[in-house]
Structure 1
Amino acid sequence: MNQSKTVNVLAPSYMQGFQCVGSACVETCCSSWHIAIDEPTYRKYQTIRIEPLASQLRQHVQLSSEAAKAQGAYASIPLALGESCPMLDEQQLCSIQTTLGAEALSSTCSDFPRIYVHDGQRLAMAASLSCPEAARLALADEQALDLVELPLAFSAQRPPALHRRRASAGAQEQDLVRRHGGLLASVISALLRLHSLSAEQALVYGGLILRRVAGLAGQEFGAAEAALEQVLEQFLGPQTLQRAPELVAGLSVPKGAQFSLLLAASQRFMRDHGGRASFRALMDEVSKGLELGQSPSHCLARYEQADQDYLRPFLAEHPHLLKNYALNSVLSSVFPREGMAELPHEFMELAVRLALIRFYLVGLAALRGPELSVDDVRRTVYGVARNIEHNRRFLPGVMQALEAHGALRLEVLATLLL
């Protein structure tokens, strides 16, 4: 008997209303990337004798390399850019599901865009914002990232596949970040929820805190723990927080360096990976807005003017947009899930993604002017999530390039974000 279980999971409130829109989706998840197939599902597919489904499965489901298997993709249905899954029927419905039922889907197809994580205390769930509908709901309003408890029903034979986990810290844990990862995550989330700070300011201020935390490496654990308490008291006291916007606003931001670093990262992605059609279209609009064919000084002037005249007023009117993206990223990545040594890199990866989104929005603002819209933000967010966050080679390459320029340090967060 296939028994089912129900557990309560922590989730942002937008997940209460999420439902796949199927063929109405503006950019379906059933195209343009390798569809991972877990081992139990692959072995089940080998037993299928119903035609023509059995022949289609034998033709299109391929065993993965050992490296891909180690990352959870035992097999896959490989797709080229712009290519739809061959298992879709004439109505653009999944022939596996229509023939065998939803329980026959791989965990990837069954779960996406849901991301299941464990923070060391409990199970949580969010959505990948590479799904246009999830991005629409997550960016809808200020309350979309409020946390709620949702019942999650699943088969006892097939529990939710965890995407990421933060290990529970034992009483003998001597790594300060692993011991207090949940506390650090709550600090960053709380800063992002402050009305007095923009998303960019919250991450920069959080980076100042984490820079001090990273500086405690090498100290005896008891002394480091006491110093951590002092750092949090210093930065999170009511009077200090009241001055936080002024402190962040006073940081030096060389806009030329920001422009050059983020443009170089974007051009590298387009050169090496190209991106999906919607992302290429987005990049074309950014290029037109910034007039990238002109001299560097002209482009920089366009960038600074569009940022000041259009994007900043727009984000001041809709402050939740980038905040919700960052809050969703903190939850779905289980930041910080590693240790003290990895803390700066983990946080910088989040900051770089937000900085790239903001960079593209400046380009759209240069093109649209006062017509910049919430929908522009939505498609930029899901475009970055779909093309950059899902690309296992690109973001590490960007991080290496920033490191080569001395920009992969918490000290330069303001250069990238403000």
Structure 2
Amino acid sequence: MQRDALAPRYVRNFSCTGSKCPDNCCHTWQVAIDAETYRGYRTNPAVIPLVEDKIAENHDLTTKDITPGFFKMDPKTNRCSLQDTSGLCQLVKNFGPNALCQTCTTYPRSIQQLGDDLLITLSDSCPVAAKSLITQPDALELDFAPVAIPPNPLATSVDAPNAFNARYQLLQGLLTLLRHREQSLEMRLFICGLLIQKIQPLFDKSPTDQLEEKLEETLGLFYSLVNEGYFEEQAKALNKKSDGSLGLVILGTLRREKKQNNAAFNEELSRALKGLNITDKTQLDISHLNQLDKARKKYLTNFEKKHPHSLENLLVNWLLGSLFPIKNTNLMDGWTNLMARYLLLRTLLSAIGAEQKKLGSL
């Protein structure tokens, strides 16, 4: 079915590759079954023989009404027990796509209902979506137009916060600054951070009827300063004062990072850190930062030259998917979270390059 929605270009062009997917979504994670679909699985005589021994009940009383069950994983393959040897879902093969639960129908889409409007993005954990973000400079060009939505989708309703119009105006401002591609991505992020720092007091103290006007003035000032190159010298001075402590914090965070039920990610992370001679017992110091800096220059820099908009697109995709700054009460907290994700990704990619002696080509 078609619905009018705000969605980037790569969403409108998305098509699941099914069994041809190099890393499909039917493994390593527990698929939640919504209540309506669960009742159908348990009461439809044609479906019961296929699914009766492949569903586990949810015993968590706080979520059971919404998610009464999960698909079991095959312990031998760590894949969904309904996935056959060809990589296809037996439910789809036997009963068509309408037989899928909301989770399987919707993924990799994130569908968020904001008032009467829908905002749709894709998860970068999907290889097709990730490739689009990495290789297509215009993947995140936004349009409000009809979008194909699968049957029985999972849509998250988001309450419009106070000062919604101003927050939406700020979102548009951040997107404008992040796409000012005459400057490096780090410079654009630095400028957006300064903007958030400047604007937070406006949201804290300005009356609602004055907020949009003050915000428009501030955004206009930043656009002018960017065009005049005002922030270049500030960034250079800040860089000279850096003692590398943030880089050590990032490496420490990566070392502690584990994804539950995602052995593939944990193995890749462990190998990447090993490429920097980092184990659980390693005392992190400046030598590891030097190794990381060399790895970034040798591997990630070449990757960024080939796909100069890849990290920008991933960052903007996170921004849209999280509905920042619309959903966040505190702007600085939301921006810090986005920056942390970007820095962790950049660090992890550099470490993977050091371990593999290359970054995969796309």
> What is the TM-score with the length of structure 1 in the denominator?
0.75
Aligned length in residues: 355
Relative distance call for 1:344 and 1:78 in structure 2 (3 A) is farther
Asked if 1:58 corresponds to 2:66, the answer is no
Match of 1:227 in 2: 214
Distance 1:192 1:330 in 2: 11
Match of 2:346 in 1: 358
Using the TM superposition, name which of 40-49 and 232-241 deviates more.
Answer: 232-241
Q: Is the 8 A contact 2:102 2:152 kept in 1?
A: no
Distance 2:103 2:35 in 1: 12
Distance 1:154 1:16 in 2: 10
| Correspondences of 1:112-191 after superposition (within 5 Å) | 112-120=107-115, 122-148=117-143, 151-153=146-148, 160-163=153-156, 165=158, 167=160, 175-176=162-163, 178-191=164-177
Deviations 1:199-257 (CA, angstroms, capped at 9, x unpaired): 33323311211111112213433454443233222212265563334433432363631
Q: Is the 8 A contact 2:109 2:122 kept in 1?
A: yes
Distance 1:215 1:121 in 2: 30
| Correspondences of 1:307-322 after superposition (within 5 Å) | 307-312=296-301, 314-322=303-311
Give the percent of matched residue pairs that are identical in Structure 1 and Structure 2: 27
Relative distance call for 1:90 and 1:297 in structure 2 (3 A) is closer
Q: 1:91 aligns with which of 83, 86, 96?
A: 86
Match of 1:278 in 2: 264
Match of 1:328 in 2: 317
Structure with more helix by fraction: 1
Q: 1:34 aligns with which of 26, 30, 34?
A: 30
Q: 2:292 aligns with which of 277, 294, 303?
A: 303
Shift of the alpha carbon at 1:309?
A: 5.0
Relative distance call for 1:145 and 1:223 in structure 2 (3 A) is closer
Match of 2:198 in 1: 212
Using the TM superposition, name which of 275-284 and 328-337 deviates more.
Answer: 275-284
Relative distance call for 1:136 and 1:227 in structure 2 (3 A) is same
Q: Is the 8 A contact 2:315 2:342 kept in 1?
A: yes
AA paired with 1:325? L
Shift of the alpha carbon at 1:360?
A: 0.7
Asked if 1:236 corresponds to 2:232, the answer is no
SS at match of 1:144: coil
SS at match of 1:143: coil
Relative distance call for 1:98 and 1:312 in structure 2 (3 A) is closer
Q: Is the 8 A contact 2:112 2:155 kept in 1?
A: yes
Structure 2: 5+ residue runs without aligned partners? none
Match of 1:408 in 2: none
Shift of the alpha carbon at 1:325?
A: 0.5
Relative distance call for 1:116 and 1:320 in structure 2 (3 A) is same
Distance 1:152 1:125 in 2: 9
Q: 2:44 aligns with which of 43, 48, 72?
A: 48
Match of 1:391 in 2: none
Distance 1:20 1:269 in 2: 29
Distance 2:300 2:32 in 1: 38
Q: Is the 8 A contact 2:26 2:79 kept in 1?
A: yes
Relative distance call for 1:337 and 1:76 in structure 2 (3 A) is farther
AA paired with 1:161? L
Distance 2:167 2:220 in 1: 17
SS at match of 1:139: helix
Relative distance call for 1:27 and 1:368 in structure 2 (3 A) is closer
> What is the TM-score with the length of structure 2 in the denominator?
0.85
Q: Is the 8 A contact 1:9 1:122 kept in 2?
A: yes
Distance 2:245 2:347 in 1: 12
AA paired with 1:133? V
Structure 1: 5+ residue runs without aligned partners? 170-174, 376-418
Asked if 1:202 corresponds to 2:192, the answer is no
Relative distance call for 1:274 and 1:335 in structure 2 (3 A) is closer
Q: Is the 8 A contact 1:117 1:165 kept in 2?
A: yes
Distance 2:330 2:145 in 1: 32
Match of 1:75 in 2: 69
Q: 1:247 aligns with which of 234, 242, 259?
A: 234
Q: Is the 8 A contact 1:36 1:73 kept in 2?
A: yes
Shift of the alpha carbon at 1:78?
A: 4.6
Cα RMSD over matched residues? 2.9
Q: Is the 8 A contact 2:276 2:292 kept in 1?
A: yes
